[in-house]
Amino acid sequence: MSEARDHLEAIAAAPRPAGGDAEKSARDYCARVLRAAGFDVSERAFEYSTFVGRWGTPLFGVGIALLALAAACEGASGSASRALGILIGGALALSGIGSWLGRRGVLDLPFARARSTNLVATRGAPSLWLVAHLDSKSQPIPIVARALAIIASMIFLGVVMGVAVAQLVVPIPGFVWFTLATISVLFALPVMASIVGARSPGALDDASGLATVLRAVELLPRDIGIGVVLTSAEELGLAGARAWAREAPHATAINVDGIDDTGDVRLIYSGRLPRSLVALLGAAWPSPVKLVPGVLMDGVALQQAGWEVVNISKGGWRAVSRIHTPGDDLAHLSGSGAEAVAAMLAGAIAASPR
């Protein structure tokens, strides 16, 4: 059996953009480990549009800024009803377009097409799947700043709507509108600057998740049925998980994404509370918390497709600040956290009723 550090060194030696040679090398390595652990392994190719993953977030920031500016122009000229109509209509349009692009467009858009591959492994007849993603990316804006900017932009858009409603009753000076628009644009700038690159080795995000999954299945007794899905293009709109969700019947899954050496273990969910998975993991694990808006994980795609999913992460703000940067490398990660979480995960699965 390999240790988590060995897995990390094999996977996080270089950046792994989706569909590239480094990601293929990581996938081939994981396939060898899984076969050695008694799994039947197959590759599942899929096609998707890179547009959503590369440009969806920046264009959302542009949309927020344009809405604020257009509303400010109308509000400053005294037309509060038009300003309010622009804000409400624009917000609904952004929400609807964003939802369609995220859930379906990433696979269905006919342009910016690309091809990649998920790795699927089964041992026995699995009722539970372990998930982690193979690819990595870099961005000029830290993930924390991006998430906070998205939340702030949405909140401030509500503030601007409130001012438009107030102007239906009392006059609002023009400079107030343009001040609000300026602040909205400033909030939107980090969102607009969230351009995808390929400069991060992705040791924490998500070689650590891969190492945790590999070690967990190595530690499990071989008579326990379990499935593993290692997705591609998670960093480009959760494309691999969405492709797998279209192909596979609904099931339960534990998605492992970001396991640092230090910090607290977190169970994270979106949608409804995954009660059966919380019960499976047991009292030794922390209480689950809701996923922060603006942060995406493969578990989101699976949950939206009808799966019951919980996401496991470990770390603090320092760990999060490394994600999507060149500093997310093996110099900052030993694998001790992945080893510990893998042992906890294997123990919980082995102790669960079958």
Express each pLDDT in 266-311 by its tens digit. Answer: 999 999 999 999 999 988 899 999 998 767 899 999 999 999 999 9
CA 240 to CA 255: how far, in whole Å? 13
pTM: 0.93
320 within 8 A of 144, measured Cβ to Cβ = yes
Number of H helices, E strands in the chain: 13, 8
Main-chain dihedrals φ then ψ at residue 216, nearest 5 degrees: -60, -45
Within 8 A by CB and 6+ apart from 51, the residues are 105, 109, 111, 112
Q: What is the DSSP letter of 205?
A: I
Of 166, 192, 218, the position where a domain reaches its end is 192
237 and 168 in a common domain: no
C-alpha 116/C-alpha 114 separation (Å) is 7
Q: Tell whether 74 and 150 lie within a shared domain.
A: yes
Co-location of 147 and 223 in the same domain: no
pLDDT the model gives residue 354: 63
In a shared domain, residues 211 and 283: yes
In tens digits, the chain (354 residues) has pLDDT values of: 569 999 999 999 999 999 999 999 999 999 999 999 999 999 999 999 999 999 999 999 999 999 999 999 999 999 999 999 999 999 999 999 999 999 999 999 999 999 999 999 999 989 899 999 999 999 998 888 888 899 899 899 999 999 999 999 999 999 999 999 999 999 999 999 999 999 999 999 999 999 999 999 999 999 999 999 999 999 999 999 999 999 999 999 999 999 999 999 999 999 999 999 999 998 889 999 999 876 789 999 999 999 999 999 999 888 888 999 999 999 999 999 999 999 999 999 998 876
The per-residue pLDDT for 317 is 84
Q: Distance between CA 119 and CA 101 in Å, rounded?
A: 24
Tokens at residue 79, please?
């037309």
Q: In 168-251, which residue ranges form alpha helices assigned H by DSSP? A: 174-192, 208-219, 239-247
72, 178 contact by CB (below 8 A): yes
Segment (H or E) for 48: strand 40-49
Tokens of 242: 């969405």
Sign of the C-alpha dihedral, residues 108, 311, 151, 323?
A: negative
Instruction: Report how far residue 198's alpha carbon sits from residue 50's, in angstroms, rounded to the nearest whole number.
Output: 14
Residues 154 and 232 in one domain: no
Same domain, 41 and 181: no
- The verdict on 173 and 284 lying in the same domain is no
Q: Which domain holds residue 166?
A: 54-109+142-192
User: Are 319 and 143 a contacting pair, CB within 8 Å?
Assistant: no
Closest to 226 (Cα-Cα) out of 38, 45, 1: 38
- By CB atoms closer than 10 A (0-12, 13-18, 19+), residue 48 is buried
Q: Which residue in 217, 28, 211 sits closest to 117, CA to CA?
A: 28
Contact criterion met (CB below 8 Å) for 235 and 171: no
Decide which of 128, 163, 192 is a domain's last residue. 192
205 with 341, same domain: the answer is yes
Do 220 and 173 have their domain in common? no
Residues 238 and 161 in one domain: no
> Which DSSP string corresponds to 2-41?
--HHHHHHHHTTS---TTSHHHHHHHHHHHHHHHHTT-EE
CB 40 within 8 A of CB 122: yes
Would you tell me the crossing angle of helices 174-192 and 50-76 to the nearest 10 degrees? Answer: 170
- Structural domain count, the chain: 2
Judgement on whether residues 178 and 245 belong to the same structural domain of the protein: no
Same domain, 182 and 67: yes
- Return the DSSP state at 331: G
> Which pLDDT does position 2 carry in this prediction?
66
* Residue type for position 96: G
pLDDT at 192: 94
Distance between alpha carbon 163 and the CA centroid of its chain, in Å? 34
Task: Indicate which CATH number applies to the domain containing 319.
Answer: 3.40.630.10
